[in-house]
Amino acid sequence: MALIDSRLKRILTSHLIDSKITNELFEGANAPLGTLSSRLKLCYSLGLITELEYKETNYIRKIRNEFAHQEHGLKFEDSPVRDYISHLRANTPDGNRFDENPRQLFINSVIMTSLAFWYRPEYAKVQKAEKRQWDWQLVPDEK
């Protein structure tokens, strides 16, 4: 999960201008892009990931949260984890759904999503934002 989170951050930072302000979006107590959820939403909103990748990662995030907030005894076969897993759509070897084994489907989804995001920062960099000069923009007062 940390791999997917760090990939989303790299996708975004490769697309945004290099600045202290950009770094502040990701670091600190009130960083607006400090969570997986916020990074995921922005990546999708900017068109840096597909709708399927957004949905897949969001279900992975929900499953992770279920395990993180459960004191003990949660299994992949338990609800709501199994319900979330039923929505995972990442391709599986030979189209085999691992006999509906929820743990295998989850692992497969994490691996396939990680692979889909692996080189995305290099592709996003091609569209990297830059500081621009606008025809109409604020200029400092010369006084």
Domain annotation covers residue 6: yes
pLDDT over 80 (residue 98): no
Domain annotation covers residue 138: no
Concatenating the DSSP letter of every residue in 52-97 gives HHHHHHHHHHHHHHHHHH--S---TTSTTHHHHHTT-----GGG--
Give the residue-averaged pLDDT of 98-108.
Answer: 86
pLDDT digits (tens, 9 = 90+) for 19-65: 999 999 999 889 999 999 999 999 999 999 999 999 999 999 999 99
Q: Which CATH number covers residue 81?
A: 1.20.120
pTM equals 0.87
Domain annotation covers residue 139: no
Domain containing residue 105: 2-125
Tally of domains within the chain: 1
Domain annotation covers residue 130: no
Domain annotation covers residue 100: yes
